[in-house]
Structure 1
Amino acid sequence: MNFEAVLFDCDGVLVDSEAITCGVLRDMFEEQGWRMTLAECMQRFVGHTVKSQREVIEANTGVPLTDAWLQQFFERRNERLERQITAIDGIHDAVAHLHDHCDGRIAVASGADRFKVEMMLRKVGLHEFFDGRIFSGHEMPRSKPHPDVYLAAAAHLQVAPARCLVVEDTTVGIAAGVAAGATVWAYAAPPAAHEPLLQVGAQRVFTSMTALRLGGR
């Protein structure tokens, strides 16, 4: 298919942020008595908003998930991301190619809050490619796995979802792209398993950003 637009997830696709964010989350849970490894934390929480996991968090910590706790998490997360965030290897060339291929019709459609997304993109030198075309699930009626953020991005670009390529890395995000009616390709950094990504609807799984290219130009 000759895609007319490309819609990117952010965490784990454009920036290598998920281990950083889950590291902060794991530390804060441990302070409340819920101990787990970083790998366990990532398996539980990557692709989900913290709020969407309220029940499991409260069940395991034994305390309410308060707005004050969430605010502390955001502050500690942002501070650590500011210091440690890096781009996914090869993503600058891939984004530049797709920006040119689609005549600028590329966007970010993230489940994360806007401040985090824009801060990370600026830190790694990608913001200029997406300026004015950044969409946050926090600003939608529903976040991923619902399709709202992808539908909003496609509508802004004035491209039918069926003509959009979505680039994702989690089963939750893939489900959102599929529900929007887009074609989804999944990035799986080794040693991530491919089968779960294919099972939820990814049409292709790739392991290096050098593979993220479209023909025709």
Structure 2
Amino acid sequence: MIDTILFDCDGVLIDTEMLALDIEVNFLAQNNFFYERMDFARAFIGMDGVGMRAQMGRDYLAQHNRPMPENLFDDMWAARDAHFATHLTPVPNADLSLRAWKGKKAVASSSKIHHLKTNLTQTGLADLVYPNVFSADQVARGKPHPDVFLYAATQIGAKPENCLVIEDSINGVKAAMAANMDVWGFMGGGHVWPELATQLTAIGAKRIIYSHEELAQALTQLQS
């Protein structure tokens, strides 16, 4: 029986993923480090910074036959965060889903905890989720490992088998499955690619949701 909802943040509540994707790919290209946009999305959306930095290091070595410059990753994220400060918006009607669920709920994200606080406040969603906001910063391993979901459940007194995760990424769905939680794939963010729904279903998502209007209705029905 589902009694707790765990929301991913980026791409589910806040439309960061499309903004980040464009900024990051363009910044790297300006520094002679090249990714196809959708290849970058498939590889890194939902991944925490530690895992992302490590994989990018391997990719840079493969492209250039030398280690990635130490400051490149941090400079890329600084450029992204500066853009977020003036361009960040919630995923349309994200507040509807947060308001629809009357039981226990939390945000469990790969983003750094201070970014979560800043971004949720900036987009007007903070009051709907605080204090139950948790980050991969607070656990040993980020997604696709289950740690952040299990940590969030423990902190709010929920059993993993009673949690439903709302996720937009392959890494996130894998993490939810590893945590022994039900998971729905969310396709309402601006960054999704056509085959993502099939990919999320193939790795365990029980349902695909295309908007927060649909999600709010489904969460209401779960409680009836």
Same fold (TM over 0.5): yes
SS of 1:34's equivalent in the other structure is: coil
| 1:79 and 2:78 matched | no
Q: Is 1:24–1:76's contact at 8 Å kept on the other side of the alignment?
A: yes
Q: Which has the higher contact order (CA 8 A, sep 6+)?
A: 2
Which residue identity is paired with 2:175? A
Q: CA deviation at 1:205?
A: 0.6
The 2-side partners of 1:30 and 1:191 are apart by 21
The 2-side partners of 1:117 and 1:192 are apart by 28
* Structure 2 partner of 1:56: 59
* Structure 2 partner of 1:25: 24
Which residue identity is paired with 1:192? P
SS of 2:71's equivalent in the other structure is: helix
The 2-side partners of 1:61 and 1:115 are apart by 33
Cα deviation per residue 1:136-192 (whole Å; 9 max; x = unaligned)? 112211110100000000001101010011000111100101111111011123763
* Structure 1 partner of 2:94: 91
Distance 1:58 1:126, change over 3 A: farther
* Structure 2 partner of 1:206: 209
Q: Is 2:24–2:77's contact at 8 Å kept on the other side of the alignment?
A: no
- Structure 1 gap segments, 5+ residues each: none
Matched residue count: 212
Q: CA deviation at 1:27?
A: 2.1
| 1:134 and 2:144 matched | no
Q: CA deviation at 1:211?
A: 1.8
Distance 1:58 1:138, change over 3 A: farther
Q: How does 1:5-24 map to 2 (within 5 A)?
A: 5-24=4-23
The 2-side partners of 1:31 and 1:60 are apart by 15
Q: CA deviation at 1:61?
A: 4.8
The 2-side partners of 1:39 and 1:141 are apart by 28
Distance 1:42 1:89, change over 3 A: same
Q: CA deviation at 1:33?
A: 1.3
Instruction: Give the TM-score, by structure 1 length.
Output: 0.89
Distance 1:123 1:62, change over 3 A: farther
* Structure 2 partner of 1:192: 194
Taking only aligned residues, the RMSD between alpha carbons, in angstroms, comes to 1.9
| Residue range with higher mean Cα deviation, 7-16 or 31-40 | 31-40
SS of 1:13's equivalent in the other structure is: coil
* Structure 2 partner of 1:152: 151
SS of 2:208's equivalent in the other structure is: strand
Q: Is 1:22–1:42's contact at 8 Å kept on the other side of the alignment?
A: yes
- Structure 2 gap segments, 5+ residues each: none
Distance 1:149 1:67, change over 3 A: farther
SS of 2:82's equivalent in the other structure is: helix
Q: CA deviation at 1:23?
A: 1.8
Cα deviation per residue 1:183-214 (whole Å; 9 max; x = unaligned)? 10111237633211011110111111112132
